Copies of this chain bind each other. A is one copy, B any other.
Amino acid sequence: MTTSRVPVVEKIMDANDQVAQQIRQKLDSHGILAINIMASPGAGKTSLILKTITALSSKYKMAVIEGDTAPVTIDADKVLASGVPAVQINTGGECHLDAMMMSRGLEQLPLEQLDIIIVENVGNLICPAAFNLGTHKNVLIASVPEGDDKPYKYPNIYRGVHALIINKTDLLPYITFNIDYFRQGVEMLNPALATFPLSCKTGDGLSEWISWIENQLNTRKAK
């Protein structure tokens, strides 16, 4: 039953990669840096995006694409309230964003005016990893209360990312989380991955993440 799905899924993936390639070309022609944020439900994707907007939106022109599995605009409304354009993509129950959805989202944004687009993927530690959206950087948020064994249990998503955030470090005093064990798991899957322990609640560690984004912008401009 599972195996009967494989050929269809492969075809979808090919089509997805083709659209992702077109998206990348479009982003590059406008000089936009696009970042795809993935995480479990409740790891802090929206919180991180809001903090990033606060830090960078006076210096760069930003927009957000919000992926949701249900037709609720809770996250998109929060972004709009921060003064940054947001497009909501309701996947209609689907468990991830794909490049076609991303492409439709981009059509609703004023690309010629933007420097940074942040994509908030659907909350899911498995499926989003398999769909290239044409973004330049894929970022994973792990969160302290999820536990230190997640790299071992959900390896695929750790393999494909360019940066890792460990959010909710403010909860470390109240939770058993062995950061060495966690980091060993990550190192095995994605050696020397840029990792940012931080707390969106207290702001601790955020500046290193913000510098990383600015470095990505500067590296691209220097090319």
A residues neighboring B (CB under 8 Å): 1-2, 4-5, 8, 12, 15-16, 40-42, 68-70, 72, 74-75, 92-95, 98, 100-101, 122-127, 143, 145-147, 149-150, 152-156, 168, 170-171, 174-175
Contacts and interface: CB of A to CB of B under 8 A. Distances in A.
Given A123-B40, A126-B122, A171-B145, A155 B70 contact: yes
A143 to B, nearest CB: 7
A127 B127 contact: yes
Q: Which of A8, A42, A122 has the most CB of B within 10 A?
A: A42
A156 B42 contact: no
B168 A145 contact: yes
A70 B154 contact: yes
A105 to B, nearest CB: 14
Contacts of A15: 1
Contact of A146 (B41, B124, B154): B41
7 contacts: A2-B92, A5-B12, A40-B42, A41-B146, A69-B154, A74-B152, A127-B127
Contacts of A92: 2
Contact of A153 (B74, B94, B100, B126): B74
